[in-house]
């Protein structure tokens, strides 16, 4: 009983003490003369980004696609390690979705010769994109203006879908074929990026064929041009 009484008195004393001051404002001052390591213009930095862009035809030898219905978007994390004030190395870890909307016209060969109302082939996968960054113009703890050159290693694609839509006698038919087997699960695309702080323009060009040799009928356009934003 005595212990309980002492404990209660201590609690009440503690409450009284905590009520004796109402702190309206408190600031703990850190010594900022020591440069921090992590930040947009500092030794290392990681940031989320999203990108959106178009797939563009560059020659007649590739399958005819519709623009801007052929597009990509991606989301990922971009890391950066500063080597010097101007030179950095980094990598993108990306989930990407690419959709090729196939133009339905005479002579069409990809993915089949049948003409549909609409038809598209989509791929979604992850990629690793190491890059070299040159930052130009003086900058503080700020990404500043930069040029990146790197390679997206798209390995492996984690899925692919072939979609077609037809309207016959007022009947709509949609066909979705998943788990396509005729594409290569490994590919790589050199890319360049021209950026200003959060915003950058990107262009990439796929170097290898999208499809396995035995299924090869026609290649898909390799050039992608887009825009991305980082959340710094």
Partner 1 sequence: MRKFKSKILAGFMVIMMTFPVFTGKCQTRYRIYFTDKKGVNFDPYAYFDAKAIERRNSLGISLYDESDYPVSSEYIRTISEIVDSTGFASRWLNFISVYISTGQQLEKLKNLAFIREIEKVPEVIIVLTSTESVDDSFDNDLVKLMNRQLTRMGGDLFVKNNINGKGVRIAVFDGGFPWVNTHPAFEHIRKDSRIVATYDFVKKRENVYYGNKHGAMTLACIGGKYEGKKIGHATGAEFMLAKTEVNTEPYSEEENWLAAAEWADKNGASIISSSLGYTYHRYFNYQMDGKTSLVVKAANMAARKGILVVNAAGNEGDNEWKYLNTPADGDSVLAIGGVDPETDYHMGYSSYGPTVDRRLKPNVSAYSHVVTVSKQGVNPADGTSFATPLVAGFAACVIQYNKNLKGMNLFHEIEKSGHLYPYFDYAHGYGIPQASYFIKNDSATVKKTFEFIETESRMKVVVDFGILNNTEWFGDANLLYFHIEDKDGMIKDLYVVKVEQKEVLNLDKLRFEKGDRIMVHFRGYTASVTF
- Alpha-carbon span 130 to 194, nearest angstrom: 15
- Alpha-carbon span 130 to 210, nearest angstrom: 21
Contact string (CB under 8 A) for partner 1, positions 84-123, x = contact: ----------------------------------------
Those residues with Cβ within 8 angstroms of residue 22's Cβ, 6 or more apart along the chain or in another chain: none
Contact string (CB under 8 A) for partner 1, positions 144-183, x = contact: ---x-x----------------------------------
- The SS3 of residue 39 is coil
With CB under 8 A as the contact rule, the residue among 1, 2, 4, 26 that binds partner 1 is 26
Q: Cα 165 from chain centroid? A: 29
- Binding status of residue 207 toward partner 1 by CB under 8 A: yes
- Alpha-carbon span 92 to 130, nearest angstrom: 6
| Number of amino acids touching partner 1 (CB under 8 A) | 40
- Alpha-carbon span 95 to 226, nearest angstrom: 15
Binding segment toward partner 1, per CB under 8 A, in 62-70, 84-92, 164-172, 200-208: 200-208
- The SS3 of residue 150 is strand
* Binding positions for partner 1, rule: CB under 8 A: 17, 19-29, 31-35, 39, 41-42, 58, 137-142, 147, 149, 190, 192, 194, 201, 203, 205-208, 222-223
């Amino acid at each position: 009983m005595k212990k309980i009484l002492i404990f209660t008195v201590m609690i009440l004393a503690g409450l009284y003490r905590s009520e004796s001051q109402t702190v309206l404002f408190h600031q703990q001052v850190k010594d900022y003369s020591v440069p921090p390591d992590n930040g947009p213009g500092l030794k290392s930095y990681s940031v989320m980004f999203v990108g959106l862009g178009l797939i563009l035809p560059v020659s007649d030898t590739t399958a005819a696609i519709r623009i801007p219905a052929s597009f990509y978007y991606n989301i990922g994390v971009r890391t950066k390690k500063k080597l010097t004030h101007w030179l950095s190395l980094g990598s993108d870890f990306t989930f990407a979705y690419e959709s090729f909307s196939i133009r339905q016209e005479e002579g069409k060969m990809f993915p089949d010769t049948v003409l549909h109302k609409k038809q598209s082939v989509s791929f979604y996968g992850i990629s690793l994109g190491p890059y070299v960054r040159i930052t130009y113009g003086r900058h503080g703890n700020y990404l500043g203006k930069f040029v990146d050159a790197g390679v997206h290693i798209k390995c492996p694609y984690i899925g692919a879908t072939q979609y077609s839509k037809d309207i016959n006698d007022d009947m709509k038919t949609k066909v979705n074929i998943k788990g396509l087997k005729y594409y290569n699960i490994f590919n790589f695309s050199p890319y360049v990026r021209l950026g200003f702080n959060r915003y950058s323009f990107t262009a990439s060009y796929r170097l290898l064929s999208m499809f396995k040799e035995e299924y090869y009928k026609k290649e898909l356009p390799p050039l992608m041009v887009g825009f991305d934003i980082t959340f710094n």
